[in-house]
Amino acid sequence: MTIFLGDTAPDFEQDSSIGKIRFHEWAGDSWVLLFSHPADFTPVCTTELGLTAKLKPELDKRHVKAIALSVDAAQSHVDWIKDIEDTQKTVVGFPILADHDRKVATLYEMIHPNQSSSATVRTVFIIDPKKKVRLSMTYPMSTGRNFDEILRVIDALQLTDGYSVATPGNWRDGDDVIIPTSIKDEAELQQKFPKGFTAERPYLRLTPQPNK
Crossing angle (nearest 10°) for helices 74-88 and 43-54: 70
Q: What was the pLDDT predicted at 205?
A: 97
Q: Is the pLDDT of residue 124 over 90?
A: yes
Residue 117 confidence (pLDDT): 82
What is the pLDDT averaged over residues 170-174?
A: 97
User: In total, how many domains does the chain have?
Assistant: 2
pLDDT of residue 63: 98
Helix axes 147-162, 43-54, angle to 10 degrees: 40
Torsion angle in degrees (nearest 10) through CA of 163, 59, 151, 68: -130
- Whole-structure pTM value: 0.94
Last residue of a domain, one of 114, 145, 176: 145
- In three-state secondary structure terms, 19 is strand
Please state, in angstroms and as integers, the Cα–Cα distance from residue 151 to each residue in 8, 75, 122, 134, following that order: 21, 30, 16, 13
Q: Where are the alpha helices (DSSP H) in 21-142?
A: 23-27, 43-54, 56-61, 74-88, 103-107
Rounded to whole angstroms, the Cα distance separating 122 from 202 reads 40
Q: Does residue 154 belong to any structural domain of this protein?
A: no
Identify whether residues 85 and 139 lie together within a single domain.
yes
Residues 135 and 170 reside in one and the same domain: no
Rounded Cα distance between 45 and 122, Å, is: 9
Q: How far apart are CA 70 and CA 121, in angstroms?
A: 9
Same domain, yes or no, for 23 and 56? Answer: yes
Q: Is 45 a catalytic residue?
A: yes
Q: Are residues 127 and 65 in the same domain?
A: yes
Domain annotation covers residue 8: no
pLDDT tops 80 at residue 1: no
Same domain for 112 and 168, yes or no, is no
pLDDT tens per residue, range 50-97: 999 999 999 999 999 999 999 999 999 999 999 999 999 999 999 999
pLDDT of 24 > 90? The answer is yes
**Interval 109-137 mean pLDDT:** 94
Give residue 118's pLDDT band: very low, low, confident or very high (50, 70, 90): confident
For residue 65, the enclosing domain spans: 13-145
- Which of 32, 45, 68, 127 is the catalytic position? 45
